Amino acid sequence: MGAFNRTSVIIGVAGIIVGIVLGMVLFWGLFPVQWTDANTYDLSLQAKAEYVGLVADSFSVYNDRDLAAGHFDQWRQEEMEQAFADALDLYQGRPDKVQRIEDLATVLAVTPAPQGQEPGEEPAAEGGLWERIRIPCLVFFIVLLVLVLGWVGFRVAMRQRAAGPSRPAATPSAPPPSAVEEWEGTGQPPLGHFFTTYQLGEDTYDESFSIETPMGEFLGECGVGISETIGNGDPDKVTAFEVWLFDKSDIRTVTKVLMSEHAFNDNALKSRLSAKGDPVLARPGATLRLETTGLQVDVEVNELIYGEGDQAPRSFFSKLTVELVARAKTSESDSAF
């Protein structure tokens, strides 16, 4: 039923926020990353110290420097220094083990780091890959959330500013004289009388109005939204609008396309937009009718101002005001407008 409206945007943003929160709860809290087949340099400090002791035992048996060095492949020098220092501290009650570790350190040219913490105590900068990236990931998610909320707020503010304080409210009002004459003899007042105005810069413009009985029963909806833009750059340059009617009893949406003079005379563009609905040339005073099984909406263009710029003349709208009068169909209703 037309383009996305403000409710759709809010639902989409809420979905993004909920998705981020659920993702962090599930994959950070309940189901954290489990490492398998990790390299030896990803071990905890305690495990690294024990690993150094095992390599020292192996070296004392085989006396193969290259084999011993291969056990520390891809280790950073500072990691080796810390691991050897922790190993010496871990096995300080076993002189034979300490001697083997010192021999291995001499062969591999490793100077154990000064002792400043207990073996196995994780320093702030150490840990596996996840420990290193969890804080940047959290910051990224927070920044992303702020950007999304800021973008939504900016678009809403732009729309409200473009609409202006004097924009007519989309509430039922008394029908115009011409409509009163048409309803004479039927005894049926309109179900809704609406005004909507688009102004250049409202890139998310999409107005919809509920059609209800005097008792509040929902019958359908009608509205106006952006159908096609041309050119590039901000703001979007709208060359066609969709005017639509949804009937609950008919379960279908009837659409017509209000087109600029340029779009209406562009056969290729007109043909493509015709797939969305019957093309209608937008001009001041232009009228059209949307009909379903039980509803009809009479539409009139009250005001039209074309924009000026680097696009073709009369190709995009700077302002468009549309009036919609909805009523139930009767046997006396015309089928044409």
Amino acid in the structure at residue 151: W
What would the mean pLDDT of 139-146 be, rounded to a whole number? 76
Return d(Cα 272, Cα 256) in angstroms, integer: 13
Least trusted range by pLDDT, from 49-63, 154-168, 230-244: 154-168
* Average of per-residue pLDDT values in the chain: 79
In the predicted model, is pLDDT for residue 184 greater than 90?
Answer: no
Which of 293, 288, 332, 336 is CA-nearest to residue 188? 332
What band does 172 get if pLDDT is binned at 50, 70 and 90? very low
In the predicted model, is pLDDT for residue 171 greater than 50?
Answer: no
The two tokens of residue 83 are 């691991």
Q: Which residues contact 150 (CB under 8 A, 6 or more apart)?
A: none
Question: Using one digit for the tens of pLDDT, what is the confidence trace for 53-90?
Answer: 899 898 888 888 888 888 898 898 898 899 999 989 98
What would the mean pLDDT of 285-310 be, rounded to a whole number? 92
Return d(Cα 251, Cα 293) in angstroms, integer: 9
Q: Distance between terminal CA atoms of the chain? A: 22
Question: Using one digit for the tens of pLDDT, what is the confidence trace for 25-34?
Answer: 666 666 666 6
Helix (H) or strand (E) holding 325: strand 317-328
What band does 178 get if pLDDT is binned at 50, 70 and 90? very low
In the predicted model, is pLDDT for residue 209 greater than 90?
Answer: yes
Question: Using one digit for the tens of pLDDT, what is the confidence trace for 83-126?
Answer: 999 989 989 888 998 899 889 889 888 888 776 544 444 444 44
- Structural domain spans, the chain: 6-34+131-158, 40-127, 168-328
